[in-house]
């Protein structure tokens, strides 16, 4: 009896505490086995597998359409996690789910190695504005937004060692805006601990577009 009351109280407390994300945000655990699989990815095989991806992401990982992400130069741990997340639906996207359905974990590691071996995209555009620069370098303590560069690197080059902090330098600005809006609405929910959802929820459309332009113009090659 006592136990049941306790459980009820805890459950009620949780639902009052804020949004409860029902499913885990990713099934990928950074075990030694996973890290070894990623480090052992075969870029040559990945290049061959990329033949069925090249229509949208480019033969060299540079997307031909600004609504699709470039994948060139992306760190392998991040790419691998995204592919796994698409396959099991934790990153919800019908096109990509279909694309990865037949891929094994080894295939995903090979593709990730291929992308990681390519240079990051060349910079494009005018570089955002002062408000974006402030968010990148200092964040905003009022809204508890941490500076973007603490995680994404000084030039947006990302950080492979810290379990796949993505490179965002040279990324297609339209894709950047779209994915930030998805984090903001919860439509993209595969970020562990809601790291990006918590940041994006307080950003305005103007700030997101300033940030997209800022990072598109960064040269981290
Ligand atoms: C018909 C176009 C299309 C094809 C073909 C395609 N993709 Fe994608 N890809 C997309 C779109 C659109 C997105 C963004 C989806 C979203 O918002 O989650 C995406 C996202 C991705 C991402 C996440 C990038 C990031 O920065 O988070 C990776 C990695 C990726 N695709 C790899 C692949 C691989 C590998 C293949 C081939 C097996 C492939 N894609 C085939 C359209 C495509
Ligand atoms: C505490 C660390 C941290 C901070 C601070 C942070 N990010 Fe992120 N960001 C991440 C992680 C981790 C991911 C990948 C999450 C996932 O697996 O979906 C990510 C993903 C992203 C993506 C998606 C990349 C892609 O290719 O789809 C964008 C865009 C992005 N962040 C922009 C920003 C911007 C802009 C800021 C500053 C306003 C920022 N981030 C601050 C950790 C951080």
Ligand 2 centre to CA of 195 (Å) is 7
> What is the tens place of the pLDDT at every residue in 16-36?
444 545 568 899 998 999 999
Query: Is the distance from the beta carbon of residue 97 to the nearest atom of ligand 1 less than 6 Å?
Result: no
Asked if the model's pLDDT at residue 8 lies above 80, the reply is no
**Domains detected in the chain:** 32-117 (1.10.760.10), 130-216 (1.10.760.10)
Query: Is the distance from the beta carbon of residue 35 to the nearest atom of ligand 1 less than 6 Å?
Result: no
Range 59-85 average pLDDT: 97
Q: Which atom of ligand 2 is nearest to the CA of 136?
A: 37
CA distance 184 to 177: 10
- Which of helix, strand or coil describes residue 140? strand
Rg of the chain on CA atoms, in Å: 19
Ligand 1 centre to CA of 70 (Å) is 9
Contacts of 121 (CB under 8 A, 6+ apart): 61, 62, 70, 72, 73, 169, 170, 171
> What is the tens place of the pLDDT at every residue in 147-203?
999 999 999 999 877 778 999 999 999 999 999 999 999 999 999 999 999 999 999
CA distance 90 to 85: 5
User: For tokens 């379990």, what's the residue?
Assistant: 163
* Start-end of H helices in 101-217: 105-117, 130-137, 148-152, 173-185, 195-200, 205-216
Ligand 2 centre to CA of 17 (Å) is 24
Query: pTM higher than 0.85 for the full model?
Result: yes
């Amino acid at each position: 009896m006592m136990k049941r009351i306790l459980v009820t109280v805890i459950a009620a407390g949780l639902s009052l505490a804020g949004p409860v994300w029902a499913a885990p945000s990713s099934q990928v655990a950074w075990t030694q086995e996973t890290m070894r699989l990623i480090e052992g990815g075969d870029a040559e095989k990945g290049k061959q597998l990329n033949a069925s991806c090249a229509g949208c992401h480019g033969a060299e990982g540079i997307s031909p359409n600004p609504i699709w992400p470039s994948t060139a130069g992306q760190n392998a741990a991040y790419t691998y996690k995204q592919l796994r997340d698409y396959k099991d639906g934790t990153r919800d996207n019908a096109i990509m789910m279909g694309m990865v359905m037949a891929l094994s974990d080894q295939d995903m590691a090979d593709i990730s190695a291929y992308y990681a071996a390519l240079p990051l995209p060349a910079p494009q555009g005018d570089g955002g504005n002062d408000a974006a620069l402030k968010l990148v370098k200092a964040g905003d303590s009022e809204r508890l937004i941490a500076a973007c560069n603490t995680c994404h690197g000084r030039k947006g080059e990302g950080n492979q060692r810290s379990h796949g902090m993505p490179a965002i330098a040279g990324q297609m600005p339209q894709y950047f805006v779209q994915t930030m809006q998805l984090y903001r609405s919860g439509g993209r929910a595969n970020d562990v601990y809601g790291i990006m959802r918590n940041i994006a929820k307080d950003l305005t459309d103007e700030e997101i577009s300033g940030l997209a332009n800022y990072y598109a113009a960064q040269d981290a090659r």
